[in-house]
Amino acid sequence: AQSVTQLGSHVSVSEGALVLLRCNYSSSVPPYLFWYVQYPNQGLQLLLKYTTGATLVKGINGFEAEFKKSETSFHLTKPSAHMSDAAEYFCAVILYNQGGKLIFGQGTELSVKP
């Protein structure tokens, strides 16, 4: 069975500091991996995704993530946090051999301190 684990339900960083949100997955087949962001009282918005090809993926708002097969990880990073980055972030894996069901992690709430 495929699953997603996000380490840390809450992460707090100072403005300008590095953002690192951790995600590990388990999958018996090559996964498609996603990071979504949810701002308060809004739906989820795609930040970036990995399907095939280059393992370092760049997304919107300066975020990037690297697929590391040996570590079964897909950590999300941003070099310098901005106040507007405060939101909840979800890592997800897709069951592409079962019609495309997204399996979400539990989410990590990012706080950015001035």
The site for another protein (CB under 8 A) is made up of: 32, 34, 36, 42-46, 49, 51, 90, 94, 96-102, 104-107
**Which residue in this structure is represented by tokens 């897709």?**
94
Question: How many Cα atoms are found within 13 Å in the side-chain-facing hemisphere of 66?
Answer: 6
Minimum gap (Å) between residue 16 Cβ and another protein: 30
- Judged by beta carbon, residue 15 or residue 96, the one nearer another protein is 96
Q: CB–CB of 7/22 below 8 Å?
A: yes
Minimum gap (Å) between residue 34 Cβ and another protein: 8
Minimum gap (Å) between residue 17 Cβ and another protein: 27
Minimum gap (Å) between residue 111 Cβ and another protein: 17
Handedness of CA 7, 89, 107, 80 (dihedral sign): positive
- Judged by beta carbon, residue 81 or residue 94, the one nearer another protein is 94
Identify any residues that bridge with 25 across adjacent strands, giving them in sequence order.
4
Q: CB–CB of 28/2 below 8 Å?
A: yes
